[in-house]
Structure 1
Amino acid sequence: MQEVVAGILMSFDVVALYLIATNVKAKWLLALWTALLHMIFPLIGYRFGEWIAVYLNNWATSLSTILLFFVGLQLLLSKKDESFPAISLPIIAIFASIDTFSVSLSFGMLNLEKYVFIISAGLSTFLLSYAALVVAQKTTILRNNALKKIAGLLLIVMSIMLLKW
């Protein structure tokens, strides 16, 4: 279950970012590209996590919880961008997807369900980022930093729960 929740949470930072992208013509293509990145980075992260777990077996749980904690903390402490960066959106999608690598690295170290997380991250990212791109053109109500803060807080809670196991 935590793999599904983490997959959904990983899409929140992209949603927060895409809520300020008001002039995107190929919304579905950008959402698909971002979803694919949210699946590729975790595959790489899982492989590294499994490899690291073999060498750092005694430290795997502690390291993975620390990684989850700091990804969550980064989301909580990140600033709200008032203007959209001048970098092209496909490149921004790559940067927004890198956090899935560290989360999947943690999951790989814990030997959690790889494909459940990857499918959850990809599907939720596609659906939520497309919805955010559509909403960005229609309203300004949801253009705030709350989704990113919620995702960060939930990742920190997950890391604390993993420490107790």
Structure 2
Amino acid sequence: MLEIFAASVTTIDVIVVLSLLQLRKGRLVLALWITFLNMVLPFAGFVMGDWSAHLFSVWSHLLSGVLLALIGIHMLLQDDSNDLLKRRLHPTVIALAVSLDTFSISVSFGMLHLNKILFIFASGFLSFIFSCLALYFGRFLSIKNGKVLSVLAGLALLAMGILSCFR
């Protein structure tokens, strides 16, 4: 169950970024590309986390907790200037930028030996649903800057990091 919660927290930023885009064409392709990246990058992160858990077997819970907490703090302190959207980057670059955080988070989950398959499929499914919601109904969601969602996701990751340190 923790894996599904974590997947939903890590894919929240998809709604924020994509609801600000104004695309007419290629929305489904972008959603599928984000879904693919949100499944491949966590798999690579889990492999890296498993490897580093074996390497740092004594410290893996503490290290993964610190990594999660730092990612949460980064999300809380992040300046939401939306430079990606102002420069009109190609949608695949935006998809990669939106999906990269799942790699670093899944490294921590790999170190904690969480259920890899459940997290990867939940992340892929939720990223597809969130991408389609944001791309097709973004103007109706009325998300102005997404700061509230970023703060909530950052606090959730910070709490998960602190709790995993004492696991």
- Confirm or deny that 1:64 pairs with 2:68: no
Q: How many residues align?
A: 164
Aligned residue in 1 for 2:86: 85
1:28 aligns with 2:25: no
RMSD between aligned alpha carbons? Answer: 1.5
Tell me, which stretches of 5 or more residues in structure 1 are unaligned? none
1:69 offset after TM fit, Å? 0.9
Matching residue of 1:100: 102
**Separation in 1, partners of 2:21, 2:28:** 13
Residue pair 1:24, 1:133 contacting (<8 A) in 2 also: no
- TM-score by length of structure 2 reads 0.92
CA gap 1:113/1:123 in 2 versus in 1, 3 angstroms? same
1:135 maps to which of 127, 134, 137: 137
Matched residue of 2:58: which SS? helix
Structure-1-length-normalised TM-score: 0.93
Q: Where in structure 2 are there 5+ consecutive unaligned residues?
A: none
Write the deviation string for residues 64-100 of structure 1: whole angstroms up to 9, x where unpaired.
1111111111211112235613211111111211111
More deviation, 71-80/59-68: 71-80
SS in 2 for 1:81: coil
Give the distance between the partners of 2:43 and 2:151, measured in 1 at CA: 25
Kept after mapping to 1: 8 A contact 2:66/2:165: no
Cα deviations by residue, 1:78-123 (Å, 9 ceiling, x for unpaired): 1223561321111111121111111111111111100110011110
Give the Cα separation in 2 of the matches to 1:150 and 1:30: 25
Aligned amino acid, residue 78 of structure 1: Q
1:116 to 82, 98, 118: 118
**Maintained 8 Å contact 1:44/1:101:** yes
